[in-house]
A and B are shown apart, each in its own frame.
Chain A
Amino acid sequence: MDFLNPATWADALKMKAERPDAVPIAGGTDVMVELNFHRRRPPALLDLTRIGELSTWDLDGDTLRLGAGVSYARIMAELGEQLPGLAMAARTVGSPQIRNRGTVGGNLGSASPAGDAHPPLLAAGARVELASVRGTRLVPVDEFFTGPKRSVLAPDELIAAVLVRPAAGPEQFSKIGTRNAMVIAVSSFALALHPDRRAVGTGIGSAAPTPRRAAEAELFAAGQLPWDTLGALDPDVVRRFGELVAAAAAPIDDVRGTAAYRRHALAVMARRTLTWAWRDLCG
Chain B
Amino acid sequence: MSIKLKALLKSPWVFHFSTGSCNNCDIEILDCLTPRFDIERFGMLLAGSIKHADVLLVTGSCNRMSADRLRKLYDQVPKPCLVVAIGECSMSRGMFIHSYNCPVPLDHIVPVDVYIPGCPPKPEAIIAGVVKLIEKVRSS
Say whether A and B bind each other. no
